[in-house]
Amino acid sequence: MSVNHENKKERVDRELIELLNELRVALPGVQVLFAFLLILPFQQGFQKISGLDKAVYFASLLATSAATALLMVPTSWHRLRFRAGPEEKERMVLASNRLAIAGTALLAVAMTLVVYVITGVVFPKAGWVPVVAAGNALWFAFFWYVMPLSRRRSGPGGGAPRHT
């Protein structure tokens, strides 16, 4: 059945499946990053990094943890509210969409902070470490947010998505 001819239940079901498929791409990356960050303090050289680098590391750990929580909202919500009805499923899809966007933003922050720490460890005397991290942040911002949002306004079928 074409998207233009689906009923409300079919649309919500399709949107949930699309959201879950997209999260299946993001979650392994955030989980690998989280695992890396969890073991990092137990590595021999960790105590040698500066206090600033430890603070940036900790901020990246918290951002990764928060991103993980937000990206996993649909799973928890769906299990806790299983068979609560189509209105609840639609609320879940809409809220989970917003939270997934926030989760990817936190993931970008976490990855940028990790790039900052690792660049500082690899090049300890380089004054351009913040420039590398800022470039990383701009890279994520452009490809994850600016490009899709600009296509939304000017691309085929421009404007906000239509709901039937």
**What's the whole-model pTM score?**
0.81
Could you state, in order of their start, the residue ranges of all structural domains in the chain?
3-114
Query: Is-contact 60 117, C-beta < 8 A?
Result: yes
- Residue 20: pLDDT band (50, 70, 90) is confident
DSSP H or E run through 19: helix 8-39
Query: Is-contact 64 33, C-beta < 8 A?
Result: yes
Mean pLDDT of the 83-99 span: 82
